[in-house]
Amino acid sequence: MTFPRILACSLLWVALWRCGGADAPPSFQQNPLDNFELVDLSHAYDDETIFWPTGKPFRHERTAWGLADGGYWYSSYDFASSEHSGTHLDAPIHFAAGKQTVGEIPLEKLAGPAFVIDIAAHCARDPDYAATAADFASFEAAHGTIPQEAIVLVRTGWSSRWPDVKSYMGDDTPGKADNLHFPGLSPDAARRLAARKIGAVGIDTASLDPGTSTDFRTHRILAAAGIPGLENVANLDALPATGAAVMALPMKIGKGSGAPCRIVALVPKS
């Protein structure tokens, strides 16, 4: 049984146990999640949410707020957003014809052991830095081979700049995406990850490609390999290089090229 399936089965047992729908086996006499710290890797969606310059911003409009006619409290909102704003998932169809939409991605692709590649030192010196295949080779030399179905997360340090658009994107000209500056992944690094047949790859910037990219080759390579992307990931500094697990659950937009995504890491307390 693969790691994502083991994790999913474990969490299902927890849900059944808490709801009284199953007798707890001996190993579940204590909540197994007590052994983990849950780390939120998502930015909130609000009026400061950063979105791709050519997309539409997140909108949250109040439709009800206060006491209803029956004397009870009632509040409600409408919301709308570009698929590719805030912490979100890129489906393979985003850059590869005929590949999976958001609604077609199996959950097994979105849950697995996390491998965090830290290139923040490079990015501090060069805001246009693109992680190289050599960066990943160095990581594997220190931590072992990245396995199939793993969730690879690239830490650039850019999350600390959120929600300052100019600092985070390199430019804040409305509707313009031709002068952006932030780190990403090189095509060679993308090919290395595709060869590993990983589950998904994420980064704490606005795009898997660096801001200076005009052809989005990294997106295209990963999408062609059927690998979903996670962008604008938060709090990667709270994760170890290895040993954590990640679940990335996007809004299930059936034909979506992308979707808002809540990403959670389980970090062993020991």
Q: Tell me the whole-structure pTM to 2 decimals.
A: 0.89
Task: Give percent of the chain above pLDDT 70.
Answer: 89
How would residue 18 be classed by pLDDT, with cut points 50, 70 and 90?
A: very low
Domain coordinates in residue numbering, the chain: 41-55+82-268
Is the pLDDT at 114 greater than 90? The verdict is: yes
Task: Give percent of the chain above pLDDT 90.
Answer: 86
CA pair distance 270, 268, nearest whole angstrom: 5
CA pair distance 81, 85, nearest whole angstrom: 7
Residue 2's pLDDT is 53
Mean pLDDT of 185-191: 98
85 in Cβ contact with 42 (< 8 Å): no
How would residue 205 be classed by pLDDT, with cut points 50, 70 and 90?
A: very high
Structure confidence by residue, pLDDT tens digits, 77-98 = 999 999 999 999 999 999 999 9
CATH superfamily of 41-55+82-268: Putative cyclase (3.50.30.50)
How would residue 26 be classed by pLDDT, with cut points 50, 70 and 90?
A: low
Residue 34's pLDDT is 87
Catalytic residue among 60, 94, 143, 219: 94
Would you call 94 a catalytic residue per the annotation? yes
Is the pLDDT at 37 greater than 70? The verdict is: yes
Residue 32's pLDDT is 80
